[in-house]
């Protein structure tokens, strides 16, 4: 595979959609090469999670807009005119590890459907789902090690391996907080942001730092890309929360995360800043053993009354602004910054 054929080095006259399609094709081909000689039921389940086959192992049309973290890495690498063969390997690793988190998250939260199809655990059970997630993690690390076949230095490869391991640990810390928040009503915005920074921000930070690491060695520059990614990850988490609540307002959609007592940003805002009757009513709802559709509807009404959705929207926009400010001191051209701004906006929008 020649990844450079998929990623045209010229940024002129390319639409965001076409660029993203090129990212997806390169990542997809890289993951396919990793799984090429892998056969058996475990790998069928992994291909199912990736959206390539149905539960019987039959090929299906790939789902649209399925690559998020890998695309952020590709975006960063392309903006810096990096070696895109190396970037594609890193991006594939990110996507495999991201899917490991999604499989385990579906099990943790008891979500029966993901990506508009039955979750892996719903089809094959929690035990096999955990096995699939672990397999995806191992394959992700194997993809990263293939960088040794390129001209990357051993020092940079070790830095990437360390970065990925540190990211996974931090992400687990975020998931821990997210789970503990379910049975609490004393969650503050500060606590939420710490959780979002670890759970989601760490992954975006890794994507952008890894994408810049093949080009830069200066710790300050690498930190700028890392913190840009972290802020974009926090903004993404807030926007995902908003999208979940917006979808839940439709009668045809069951709001699993609200029913699981997840403390989404607007909910945390209402709990922290609402008046005493509001806090009392939300507390009475969340202290119920099991929530139902009427509870979810009432929560949405309260959030609208407290303007919590609007506050969340403003917070997401502010974090996006802060993210780009982190790159203002990096020695790259204005058109490179504009490219990152345009592509991060597109990639985020199509993956929510």
> In the predicted model, is pLDDT for residue 1 greater than 50?
no
In the chain, the number of structural domains is 1
3-state percent helix, strand, coil for the chain, nearest multiple of 5: 70, 0, 25
Q: How many CB atoms lie within 10 A of CB 172?
A: 14
> In the predicted model, is pLDDT for residue 63 greater than 80?
no
Model confidence over 258-299: pLDDT tens digits?
999 999 999 999 999 999 999 999 999 999 999 999 999 999
> In the predicted model, is pLDDT for residue 103 greater than 90?
yes
Element housing 51 (H / E)? none
What residues make up the domain containing 37?
3-350
What pLDDT is stored for residue 64 in this prediction?
A: 60
Model confidence over 6-48: pLDDT tens digits?
444 444 447 999 999 999 999 999 999 999 999 999 999 999 9
Structure tokens at 107: 């099990």
CATH of the domain at 48: 1.10.600.10
Model confidence over 209-230: pLDDT tens digits?
999 999 999 999 999 999 999 9
What pLDDT is stored for residue 352 in this prediction?
A: 80
Question: pTM, whole model, 2 decimals?
Answer: 0.91
CB < 8 Å & 24+ apart, contacts of 61-65: 62/28, 63/115, 63/116, 64/350, 65/20, 65/24, 65/350, 65/351
């Amino acid at each position: 595979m020649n990844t450079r054929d998929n990623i045209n080095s010229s940024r002129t006259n390319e639409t965001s959609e076409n660029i993203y399609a090129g990212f997806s094709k390169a990542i997809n081909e890289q993951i396919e090469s990793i799984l090429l000689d892998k056969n058996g039921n475990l790998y069928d389940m992994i291909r199912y999670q990736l959206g390539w086959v149905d539960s019987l192992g039959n090929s299906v049309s790939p789902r649209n807009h399925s690559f998020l973290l890998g695309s952020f890495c590709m975006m960063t690498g392309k903006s810096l005119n990096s070696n895109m063969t190396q970037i594609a390997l890193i991006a594939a690793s990110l996507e495999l590890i991201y899917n490991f988190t999604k499989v385990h998250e579906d099990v943790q939260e008891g979500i029966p459907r993901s990506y508009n199809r039955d979750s892996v655990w719903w089809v094959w059970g929690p035990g096999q789902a955990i096995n699939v997630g672990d397999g995806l993690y191992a394959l992700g690390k194997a993809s990263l090690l293939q960088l040794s076949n390129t001209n990357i230095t051993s020092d940079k490869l070790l830095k990437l391996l360390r970065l990925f391991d540190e990211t996974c640990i931090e992400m687990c810390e975020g998931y821990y907080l997210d789970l503990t928040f379910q049975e609490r009503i004393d969650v503050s915005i500060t606590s939420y942001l710490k959780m979002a920074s670890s759970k989601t921000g760490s992954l975006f930070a890794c994507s952008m730092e890894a994408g810049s690491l093949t080009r830069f060695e200066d710790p300050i520059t690498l930190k700028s890309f890392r913190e840009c990614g972290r802020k974009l990850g926090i903004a993404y988490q807030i926007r995902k929360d908003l999208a979940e609540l917006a979808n839940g307002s439709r009668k045809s959609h069951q709001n699993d995360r609200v029913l699981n007592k997840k403390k989404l940003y607007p909910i945390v805002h209402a709990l922290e800043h609402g008046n005493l009757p509001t806090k009392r009513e939300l507390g009475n709802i969340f202290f119920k053993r099991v929530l139902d559709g009427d509870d979810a509807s009432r929560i949405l009404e309260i959030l609208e009354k407290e303007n919590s959705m609007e506050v969340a929207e403003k917070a997401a926009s502010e974090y996006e602004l802060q993210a780009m400010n982190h790159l203002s001191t990096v020695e790259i051209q204005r058109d490179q910054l504009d490219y990152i701004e345009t592509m991060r906006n597109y990639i985020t929008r199509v993956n929510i």
